[in-house]
Chains A and B, each alone.
Chain A
């Protein structure tokens, strides 16, 4: 077993572009679920609108990069309204199912043959990150001692963590305000808040839209870091994993998504690397009749699911959460 690369790879993954993407998505979900109690299972849809808004605008229509970002935000706002109008009056579980369905509709439509001339079908869109590439201040690989990144990755990671820091700041500022107080009230009991003269529906819509915008930024991040968007990036599991990130770090805490993303992606990589190494080579540590190298990549997802179950049962407030302020009514 080669422990060095296992450790560095996992560290790189814990702060890498994928972790950043999920962290941003989870920051959005934190506003939805952690603070407002909206069970949005359609975060993948907001990410898809962000990614495709950017990708299709730049590649298909030749829109300048910055304008394309604005198109992504605009699309997200429209989606939030379309999704929110019918669903925000519904019970939590119906909301969850509906948003999940909406995300699946959007994924199928984006990848459809009918829209292929504009959106590229199953291949999606590529080559829209040139603007970001051109601005890259790193000319060579970036070595931080233990971990190292290729120049473009380092640049994306820098932008990503700045975006996360800014997002955390925004969330913190909002949640200490009277506006945030109304959201938390809605999470606890929306009828009580309604009885105090607050337009609950309006606040839910604002929360959905705002959280969706963070999802959209996550979509930008995903698109730019891979220099491509394909419909398969935006499957149902994307939202579920973002929920894992949020719940692991602790819902309704400003830094919950950050902690969760680092821990989750670190853990997934440790497991992936460990079993990858244990099953590779001519004489693997784990015999092939138990596990081959294809199967080894699946162990981490089996563990992830079990971890999510255990977390919900034994520590619903997340690893560092405070049970008294717990966002979810665990009992």
Chain B
């Protein structure tokens, strides 16, 4: 783990304006003029965004706001039509996804990608970078990678213990529950030893009991020197663990700030309520929109009481 001194969110954001695209005191990720179109539809149109190092930043927005596409662009899984972005001072433009990951920016996926027919332990080992045994010339000769494999396995067990998966190390990942897969995916991402962890809806489909433990894990990441950027729909989660919130709607960033102030922002409420005026909704989508809107209203009510 990068042994940096942990950053106190309160001081990190002192004096940072609560406006879209505001400059941070120590940004780890800076994105500029990122555009992505699908046919005639503009999925992402981000003028400027900085992500503060060492804290947890949430990216929220109604369905179809372009959050996942923005994630894909930043991590090299999609190519923007235009735009520049730098991670830790290094430009990532045009860099393939695997090199983005190696540079220290590792993501998870909205639909969990646990490798079902590999064991939990093998899933974890796969996360380690710079493995000698992953080179074809060394692969056949075990002595060349045995020692490193042992170290990797130890590190993997350490993380599995922390994520309460050690007991399942030799099970196929396919036999895990949905929540456990989320845990595994996050643990596996940590095997890469990232500087920035990008989580795409880490709480989706996780049962309430496991959710608390998952929340705890996310919250503890900055203590190990990592930065977290995550997409989430559950406003309780966002309020609970994030230090800073960025709101996207229709591909743009419309608001930024600490959780409580952002959720009281009129633009944000309008975005959530207005996002689905034209398109017909499925029952689930409708429920979700209403739930989010209610939560935002509740936060606002709290604010006004204060």
Contact = CB atoms under 8 A, between A and B. Distances in A.
A80 to B, nearest CB: 13
Nearest to B185: A192
A143 interface: no
Given A178-B149, A197-B101, A191 B131 contact: no
Interface residue tally on A, bucketed by range: 20 to 34
Interface in B102-139: 102, 106-109, 113-118, 122, 125-127, 129, 131-136, 138-139
A104 interface: no
B188 A179 contact: no
B75 interface: yes
A189 B115 CA distance: 7
A178 B109 contact: no
Contacts of A326: 117
B285 to A, nearest CB: 25
A197 B101 CA distance: 5
A192 B109 contact: yes
Interface in A148-191: 170, 173-174, 176-182, 184-185, 187-189, 191
Given A195-B75, A195-B109, A173 B117 contact: no
Contact of A184 (B118, B138, B192): B118
Nearest to B101: A197
Interface stretch (A11-19, A91-99, A124-132, A198-206): A198-206
A5 B132 CA distance: 54
B163 interface: no
Nearest to B133: A178
A173 B139 contact: yes
Nearest to A209: B136
B117 A178 contact: no
Contacts of A237: none
A137 to B, nearest CB: 30
B145 interface: yes
**Which of A189, A201, A210 is the most central at the interface, judged by chain B CB atoms within 10 Å of its CB?**
A189
A185 B118 contact: yes
Interface string A246-261: 0000000000000000
B115 A188 contact: yes
B145 A177 contact: yes
B113 A197 contact: no
A199 B98 contact: yes
Contacts of A210: 136
Contacts of B99: 197
B200 to A, nearest CB: 10
B139 A197 contact: no
A124 B109 CA distance: 53
Contacts of A193: 115, 126
Nearest to B114: A192
B216 interface: no
Interface in B140-160: 140, 142, 145, 149
Given A170-B140, A174-B140, A181 B102 contact: no
Interface string B89-101: 0000000111101
A176 to B, nearest CB: 8
A152 B192 CA distance: 55
Nearest to B123: A185
Given A184-B115, A326-B117, A179 B192 contact: no
A179 B140 CA distance: 9
A123 interface: no
Contacts of A174: 136, 139-140
A229 to B, nearest CB: 29
B17 interface: no
A144 interface: no
Nearest 9 interchain pairs by C-beta? A178-B133, A179-B139, A192-B113, A197-B101, A177-B139, A188-B115, A197-B102, A173-B140, A178-B134
Given A194-B97, A197-B192, 15 more contacts: A173-B142, A181-B126, A182-B126, A184-B122, A188-B115, A191-B97, A191-B109, A191-B113, A194-B101, A197-B98, A197-B106, A199-B96, A206-B136, A325-B117, A325-B172
Interface of A: 170, 173-174, 176-182, 184-185, 187-189, 191-201, 206, 210, 324-327
